[in-house]
Structure 1
Amino acid sequence: MDDTYAPRPAGLAVGGAATLFARTMGYVAATTGLFALGAYLGRGFPALVAFGAYLVSFAALIAMHFAVRRSRPATVALLAAFGLLMGVAVAPTLVHYASTDPQALWQAAAATALFVTAFGAAGYATRRDLTALARICFWALVGLLLFGIVLIFVNIPNGALVYSVLGLVIFAGLIMVDFQRLRRSSDVASAPLLAAAIFLDILNVFLFFLRIFRGR
């Protein structure tokens, strides 16, 4: 499903990559807006509803991979649903911080903007093939998930901080990989999937920073 590093078809020039970048970032902005709307609508929902929205949002994300080559409107609609449902899913977390430590929200948002801008620009500008880094980050992310499960049952000193810092390191690599895909590909049809990947990068970085600033 990932044709990131396939050779460009003849006739596609830099303009194609620029069009892909503009469209993808437009989708990212729209998805972020729908995420904010979902978080607002879901601010009073019980945790069970939030968890259900989380599961359905990832079902929408999986469905996007099947729809992307068949129907662009359907893919965009699934992306919109993904952003809205993810907002509902994260709403209880945001409400918790807003009521207990609102300063952490603004600090995390500012740090996320700087972090994504820096590593996104680095990934977009580098000419080095980051395919190997993508594989490393994938398996590192699997390891991080396992470490998170261990933290549920085992009390490790500063475990949450270590988890968050490791997460930021992994997503720094993933952000670079995803932004390099924007430069190397000219397939405009892949814009919704790239937007979903970048949105997830941003959201995870934001949540990691939230944990860090909470423990300041």
Structure 2
Amino acid sequence: MEVKSMSGKADLGATIGATLTISSKTYSAWSLRGWLLCKLAGLDVAEQQVANDAANRAELLLLSPSVLVPRLSYMGASVWDTLAIAEFLNEQFPDAHMLPAEPIARAHCRSISGEIHSGFTNLRSALPMNLKVRHASFPVFSGARPDIERIEAIWNECMERYGGPFLFGEKPTVADAMYAPVATRFISYAVAVSPVSEAYCQTIAEWEPMKEWAAAARAEPEEMEELDVEF
């Protein structure tokens, strides 16, 4: 049976084991990050989507010891953490330039990517990713305000230093894949942000891989549920 890739074309990568296990495209921020990382690398993968029910959760446990998505299977490797996926893909596809070429910028990119990976829990809980909603206004929990301010500070510094429209210049990097779900949250919940941050959110929204993912999310059945670990 022919395996179809994310683009709908016959997937050469799938024949050598390139598979990305994901959850809901509507709600799963981590799945989006992993998928965007594959796009940055130029790796065309087959998707394996796992819903959040007891049976599939058990299946995920067999596939991924941390019960987290995404999980990339490629060339015999199984990688299930987004930053690990980023580093793995950067090693496998150095010509994709997933990280900035200049060492100081590359260190900066890794640092802010690690920060979003491990922090901002109040923002995650107050504004969960949902690509099917668009609020005209939304009350933001006060505990999430410091997270929003810190994210804006990161974005503003990057724009000043590297010139935009992406965080490290003209081309997207690992950092943009990591912050893309945050941009969707700010848009979905009409979060008041600076003009610089608003422009960056629009850059992410108009990024072709992001548009592809969002269209697929809108086509998902309404009963798709978010994995608890998203928070």
TM more than 0.5: no
Q: TM-score, normalised by structure 2?
A: 0.28
Bigger relative contact order, structure 1 or 2 (CA pairs below 8 A, ≥6 apart):
1
Please identify which structure carries the higher helix content. Answer: 1
Output the TM-score relative to the length of structure 1.
0.30
Higher strand share goes to which structure? 2
